[in-house]
Structure 1
Amino acid sequence: MDTMISMWAVVEHMRVASGAAELAIFTAILYWFFTSSRVADMLEVVGERVGGWCGRDSGSLRQTVRARRRHHNDVYSKLDSEIATRTSSLYRVKEGPVVPAPQPPRRPPAGLACARCAPMSRESWHDPKSSDTGSVINILDIGRQNFANGGVVSRYLCDLAQCLNLVKYDYKDVMPSVVNDERFQRAIEDTTQEELEKAKGGKKDDDGRDERLYAETRRKVEARAMKVLMNISSAMSNNVLRLVAWLCHKAIRRIAGGGCSTRSECVERLRRAKAAGLPLVFVPLHRSHFDYILVTFTLYLTGLRPPLVAAGDNMKIPFFGWILRGCGAFYIRRRIDGSEYNGDPIYKSALRAYILNSLGVNNNLEFFIEGGRTRTGKPQPPKAGILSVIMDAYLEGTIDDALLVPVTLNYERLVDGSFVREQLGVPKQMETFWSALRGIWRTLNTDHGGIRVDFNQPISLKELVTSFQKYNYLKAPIERCLSPPNNNLAVNLDRQILYNHSHSSLYGSDVSTNHKMMVEAIGRHLVYDAAQSTALMSTNVVSYVLLAEQRAGCSLQQLQRCVAARAAALSAAGRDLGYSADTAALLAHALDMLGSALVRREGRQRDQIRAQPSLAAALELSYYANALVAHYAANAILATALESIICQQAPEEDTVRHSDLIEASLQLCEVLSQEFILCPPCHRIEERMLEAINSLVADDVISQVQTNEALEEQKWSRRFAKTLEDDDEEQESPDPMRHIKYRVTKSPEADAERRRLLLTIRPLLEAYTMTCKCLSSGPQKQVVTTTLNTLTEEFTQNRMTYGEAVSTDAIRNCHKLLRQWGVIEMYSENRERKIRICSPYENKQNLDDVCTNVYKFNMNTPLLREIVNVK
């Protein structure tokens, strides 16, 4: 009983305590309600509305209470004055002119399809109601935006939540279809018959075919074919994709301080193109091993189907190769031409069947059209092997159409490190498990700035094929090498370039030359489109300014002005800048990214900036600068051709004929045809040179001089055109441009612009000149090493200013040019590449006569004398 009484007393105490707590809470709520400013404002609004309905004055009850208590407390007077000030300012805003809010800088539309050969693709895949503002999104922030208002776990683990909620895609197994492919089975049968003939020694049995030997040989060939097919095939897995996506979130946040960005309009275009039901073929330019995952990562996070990726077999290393295969990689052999795999029909048919069947089940595809990574930073000529397979799939009806999507990637600081050692002739080291680990560790402990991944407009393959069939000047290919100066470049240059490059190991023996040239033309168009839409990073602009505009060094303020002027010129030309910041902050960031190993800061206040004079620094800076070199290549070629004509003329001659300028510029275009893609194949190179002339005239570098004779001839041409009647005889009117001349502007600004353009391609011409002088018969590796050693000695002895001229790529490209001219032959002997000088050019004088077309553009001009011996 006492226990019950005590328990009841405890309950009563608890009830009293809970009642007191409830009373305290209720009192606190009442206090907050009557003292909160928000509640007071709400009561004021309600009071004003009620007063208005009752016909009373607009003064509120709260204002009346404030007026009564104003003599007790001066706080209300301050509040009333603030309200009055705010009200009057609002009236002024309403009565005054409307000032728009500041808008972010608009980027020019990038990645548009060619208006000449793909007009329908250019008008498709975009929302006509909205305009491309150029807005950029950081794909690392997608998860934070999607799960910002979620629970505590999703807010703090937004990356993991984003990866777990990514869409699962069904990837159909195409291996049974590939095994039953007609060409694959025919290749197995042909290989079986060849090996059977070898086993028999060319002798035929009396009883016909030996069934037992045939069955054994067939079993061996089929086992080898299945092994080849298993090495090629991908193993796309949604679980591996999610794991890699989460790891990429963590890795990119660590290595990319500027984030990983893409243009929002690019993603919207791809989403609309995906609804068409056609396979998307992504064609990126190749800069880094990180590209393999980065494109897939960007597409996957933005809600698009990840593609199957063609990766080199050098990436098939333990563990990392399995990860890439799970992300969609299928492995292809890097070297087929000139290797023991060149005549392997089983491999070619297996790769072809795998690609065609993957496209047939509507899988997206990705391949690097340049082949390997660029070692120079410039876009490389296309390798059209896989593109030819896709073309065959369309022409044979395996797919109705495909949408080709050029992709561009750019890094403020290259993830893989520099290619200086390879440019200096050190053989490339094969990727291994430990080298991959060391590379990942080094990358994770370095800030690489910002990363940009952008996608161009999807282009219909059907539309490209139809358009290129209409360009007659690309047909009737040149069947022999044309050595200068006998070739008519104004007529032959465009198709000559296509003919010289249109070779690929995946073409069949029955493919016509016109078909090869069309595939080459489409490949070059894709590379050109991707290069023109590449976002230029701060390190690209600063490196170009240091090498081409301020090679002798300058002050920090002068460098800021030059960088700002160059950025404004690029924006005016329609190029997308991958940064938006104050010039001073931008320059400080770019110099920090480049580092003291590439840029020297001198002076007491460290305000004197110049490029480091070492060979390695020049090569690495040129890698970043070459993104702008490719942009200015056409103008630089024209300015160099102009300077070569001026140096050959008499000092008193101050004009240059239009015809001479065009002829010299086309000759230099042929010389540098291995280095640049100056225009898409749907445009003539001569047209591009005319645009370059107009650009120099607009910049007041040259001015047009038109004589009275030219004016009279133009009038005669117009009269002739009016009176011309149709007849069978061909009548040619004189060229109205032949009497037009150009005068070089004599001003410091014009000289600075000409000097900049000359320095843009001068290192390449130095490399080509030395390659021609060091040419000899023998192993190509030995000839390249000799040329490199000579260039290095010229640089170290201060007889050559341009360290970036010491480049293996430039020397090998010059050898390709000499082979096209018929000067040398390249052949393989004992698995070694060798060079043989053709008999007409074994004489040194005959060789120099041909190489004069290179020497004359590497002239000694007064414009460059002030930077000579500056190191």
Structure 2
Amino acid sequence: MQGKEAGGGDAQYASLYRTVRQKIEARALRVLANISSAMSNAVLKFVAWVCHKAIRRIAGGGCGTRVACVERLRRAKAAGLPLVFVPLHRSHLDYVLVTFTLYLTGLRPPLVAAGDNMKIPFFGWFLRGCGAFFIRRRVDGSDKHGDPIYKSALRSYILNSLAANNNLEFFIEGGRSRTGKPQPPKAGILSVIMDAYLDGTIDDALLVPVSLNYDKLVDGNFVREQLGMPKQMETFWSALRGIWSTLNTNHGSIRVDFNQPISLKELVTSFQKYNYLKMPVERPLTPPNNNHLGVNLDHRILYNNSHSSLFGADVSADHKLMIEAIGRHLVYDASQGTALMCTNVVSYVLLTEQRSGCTMKQLQASVENRGMKLSQAGRDLGYTGDTPALLNHALDMLGRGLVRREGSGETALVRPQLGIAPAIELAYYSNTVGAHYAPQAIMATALESILHQPGADQDTVRHSTLLDAGMQLCEVLHQEYILCAPCTRLEERMLHALDALVQTRVLHAHQTNGGLEEERWSRRFAERLEEDEEDERPDPTRHIKYRVNHDPEAVAERRRLLLTIRPLLEAYAATCRAVATSGAGSQKELVKRTLDDLALDYTQNRMPYGEAVSTDAIRNCHRLLRQWGVVEMYDENKTRCLRLAPEYDEHAAFQRIAHNIYKFNVDTKILRDK
């Protein structure tokens, strides 16, 4: 009798198992059907024809790529490995332009990971026919978004696509950049590609960083979102209105550039050798007040950002670190390969060198000089021609809403519109160049923070003091910039930035006897990527000093570099003040309060940077404070909230931490005098 009952129980469980399995399989199949692309040669041909006609209408300067890019891709195709295209994301047009460019060059278009917000009637069908497969914008493991069936189905789709030797494309930043700067990587899909390599599904893959840039952004601007307004979801009618507006606007020139393909196998092998990625982390990230910041800052930054939606719970920290490092490598390579358009250079000059306004002749000289400097630094300029014509073209693209012109000819007065909305939009174009100058700007700001200290020597500064301050500011702004590829140490990158300040005569080397040899030794020390044991030699830079150049040209260069990142520091300082006064509340309300404070400071002339009113900068400061352990995030009634951690609940304790931000946002004379 007992045997019958046991047998009946087993049969019941078996039946229940089959029922549950059938439901899960059915749902997985529905997910796959909802995700999958439906690439069609007929659709590709039609879209290529439409793109050819449309681009001639919307891009007066055409859409181009370098011949070297096409040759690289053809050599990569000959290797017989899957090509994984990893573009930076600026516009909805990016989806089509990469596929269109590859199609015209005779290369097989990739399957493209597109956000499900683009799955709108009619247009979504066309994207699917071009190779798009639609994924949720968020598939992480939170209670609200966790869905193991969905994640497993998506992972299986990607793995099978790679196993079939299909090319793949995904936007490693996730969504479009709202600031014009490259964003930290979202490594979910990259983790699946890594799994495909590690489990032998593919022998290797070639990762191709891709950069796109526009004279005038096709999607309009992101001012609404930077001012805290909710993102407007894409609909059929909004897409139709957007297309109509785009077709009736000249957006200048467009560049699509494919950078050097990188072997995934070689990347994995290389990163496995870097000992600094394997160091234990006792505490993920702390405020920058320790004496060994440069030793493990690279590792701690990677550790604090190595979270992704498709890793799974059983993945080691070393594995996450490697994927984060590879993702940052791809973003950095793509950003360095981005062609700088004339609107980028003109906007940067207007917000830094000529912020107070100038004559057209002065602006021409500044733009020509800045373009020459960028070209000498190895950056690709996406424009050619004589400076007056280029400048007029750039000002026409930016429009009267962003730049005001009074008069005509070389004596015409030109000044940027520095109200909040126009400054935010102008900063979007400027930030592409600003990201290039970020390391030097960080060192110049660090120098200013040292000179501003009570009783500081205004003529000389120690190398070690300046480098330490620069590294501290690197940590503060690590959410804003990827300053170097992870195969290069941050300290080494800052040493190169320091060299640039010497070359531009902002600083003069001022060394005591033996200083030169010690500087050489220190650079060899900084460039060493593998440190097996702590070196007991005294600080090799203790005798190295720099003399601060107070000539007008040097002061102007310092001012330009300070203005490159000063609006960010204003936003970070305001965020800390808002956190200190509120103590706790929903993140949305805290962001709004900070935006209101910044806007009030601007309207009352207490803060002159309209572009500092930025939701992205405020949220990045919140992330930094969370990583430092200063604030905690929690959910209350399905609302994301922030509060001060118990040990920082007292005002004085929080102010000691906030001082690590305040000290770089100094009221310096060279900014007031302009």
* TM-score normalized with structure 1 length: 0.73
Asked if residue 303 in structure 1 is aligned to residue 106 in structure 2, the reply is: yes
- The aligned counterpart of 1:354 is 157
* Preserved CA contact (<8 Å) 1:477 1:513: no
How far is 1:826 from its partner?
Answer: 1.3
**One-letter code aligned to 2:348:** Y
**One-letter code aligned to 1:602:** E
How far is 1:707 from its partner?
Answer: 1.5
**One-letter code aligned to 2:668:** T
CA distance in 2, matches of 1:205, 1:258: 76
- SS of residue paired to 1:743: strand
- The aligned counterpart of 2:303 is 499
CA distance in 1, matches of 2:28, 2:636: 28
Asked if residue 705 in structure 1 is aligned to residue 530 in structure 2, the reply is: no
CA distance in 2, matches of 1:692, 1:779: 39
How far is 1:209 from its partner?
Answer: 2.8
- The aligned counterpart of 1:424 is 227
CA distance in 2, matches of 1:760, 1:729: 38
After TM superposition, the structure 1 stretch with the greater mean CA deviation from structure 2, 824-833 or 400-409, is 824-833
- SS of residue paired to 1:835: strand
**One-letter code aligned to 1:543:** S
User: Aligned match of 1:804 in 578, 592, 611?
Assistant: 611
Larger radius of gyration: 1
CA distance in 2, matches of 1:280, 1:638: 38
- The aligned counterpart of 2:391 is 587
* Preserved CA contact (<8 Å) 1:284 1:369: yes
Correspondences of 1:116-131 after superposition (within 5 Å): none
Asked if residue 642 in structure 1 is aligned to residue 484 in structure 2, the reply is: no
- SS of residue paired to 1:648: coil
Asked if residue 463 in structure 1 is aligned to residue 236 in structure 2, the reply is: no
**One-letter code aligned to 2:179:** T
CA distance in 1, matches of 2:139, 2:553: 51
User: Aligned match of 2:168 in 357, 361, 365?
Assistant: 365
After TM superposition, the structure 1 stretch with the greater mean CA deviation from structure 2, 755-764 or 507-516, is 507-516
How far is 1:730 from its partner?
Answer: 8.0
User: Aligned match of 2:544 in 721, 740, 756?
Assistant: 740
Asked if residue 602 in structure 1 is aligned to residue 409 in structure 2, the reply is: no
Q: 1:735 to 1:214 in 2, by over 3 A?
A: closer
CA distance in 1, matches of 2:139, 2:61: 39
For structure 1, the residue ranges without an aligned partner over 5 or more in a row are 1-203, 722-727
- The aligned counterpart of 1:756 is 560
How far is 1:777 from its partner?
Answer: 0.9
- SS of residue paired to 2:108: coil
Asked if residue 273 in structure 1 is aligned to residue 76 in structure 2, the reply is: yes
CA distance in 1, matches of 2:408, 2:178: 37
CA distance in 2, matches of 1:332, 1:294: 20
* Preserved CA contact (<8 Å) 2:586 2:640: yes
How far is 1:220 from its partner?
Answer: 2.8
Q: 1:295 to 1:485 in 2, by over 3 A?
A: closer
How far is 1:343 from its partner?
Answer: 3.0
- SS of residue paired to 2:352: helix
CA distance in 1, matches of 2:86, 2:241: 29
CA distance in 2, matches of 1:484, 1:689: 19
- The aligned counterpart of 1:223 is 26
- The aligned counterpart of 2:655 is 848
- The aligned counterpart of 2:97 is 294
- The aligned counterpart of 1:133 is none
* TM-score normalized with structure 2 length: 0.94
- SS of residue paired to 2:673: helix
Q: 1:844 to 1:307 in 2, by over 3 A?
A: same
- SS of residue paired to 1:454: strand
- SS of residue paired to 2:154: helix
User: Aligned match of 1:632 in 430, 434, 437?
Assistant: 437
- The aligned counterpart of 1:49 is none
CA distance in 1, matches of 2:118, 2:517: 67
CA distance in 1, matches of 2:288, 2:243: 51
CA distance in 1, matches of 2:620, 2:518: 43
Q: 1:238 to 1:340 in 2, by over 3 A?
A: farther
How far is 1:223 from its partner?
Answer: 2.2
CA distance in 1, matches of 2:433, 2:48: 32
CA distance in 2, matches of 1:839, 1:730: 35
- The aligned counterpart of 1:9 is none
Asked if residue 481 in structure 1 is aligned to residue 481 in structure 2, the reply is: no
* Preserved CA contact (<8 Å) 2:462 2:542: yes
After TM superposition, the structure 1 stretch with the greater mean CA deviation from structure 2, 359-368 or 339-348, is 339-348
How far is 1:485 from its partner?
Answer: 4.3
Q: Map Cα deviations across residues 136-170 of structure 1 (whole Å, 9 max, x no partner).
A: xxxxxxxxxxxxxxxxxxxxxxxxxxxxxxxxxxx
**One-letter code aligned to 2:117:** N
Q: Map Cα deviations across residues 173-218 of structure 1 (whole Å, 9 max, x no partner).
A: xxxxxxxxxxxxxxxxxxxxxxxxxxxxxxx985663455444433
Correspondences of 1:74-153 after superposition (within 5 Å): none
- The aligned counterpart of 2:191 is 388
Q: 1:226 to 1:644 in 2, by over 3 A?
A: same
- RMSD of aligned residue pairs (Cα, Å): 2.0
How far is 1:613 from its partner?
Answer: 2.5
Correspondences of 1:645-656 after superposition (within 5 Å): 645-650=450-455, 653-656=458-461
- SS of residue paired to 1:407: strand
Q: 1:459 to 1:651 in 2, by over 3 A?
A: closer
CA distance in 2, matches of 1:477, 1:576: 40
**One-letter code aligned to 1:669:** C
- SS of residue paired to 2:12: coil
Greater length-normalized contact order (CA 8 Å, ≥ 6 residues apart): 2
How far is 1:542 from its partner?
Answer: 0.2
- The aligned counterpart of 1:553 is 357
**One-letter code aligned to 2:666:** M
Q: 1:209 to 1:798 in 2, by over 3 A?
A: same
How far is 1:830 from its partner?
Answer: 3.2
How far is 1:484 from its partner?
Answer: 2.3
* Preserved CA contact (<8 Å) 1:405 1:455: yes
For structure 2, the residue ranges without an aligned partner over 5 or more in a row are 1-6, 526-531
CA distance in 2, matches of 1:288, 1:782: 29
CA distance in 2, matches of 1:300, 1:730: 54
User: Aligned match of 2:132 in 322, 329, 353?
Assistant: 329
Moved over 6 A (4+): 711-715, 728-731
Correspondences of 1:856-867 after superposition (within 5 Å): 856-867=663-674
- The aligned counterpart of 2:490 is 685
Identity over the aligned pairs, expressed in percent? 71
After TM superposition, the structure 1 stretch with the greater mean CA deviation from structure 2, 831-840 or 764-773, is 831-840
**One-letter code aligned to 1:823:** V
Asked if residue 783 in structure 1 is aligned to residue 590 in structure 2, the reply is: yes
User: Aligned match of 1:438 in 235, 241, 248?
Assistant: 241
Equivalenced residues, count: 655
How far is 1:225 from its partner?
Answer: 1.6
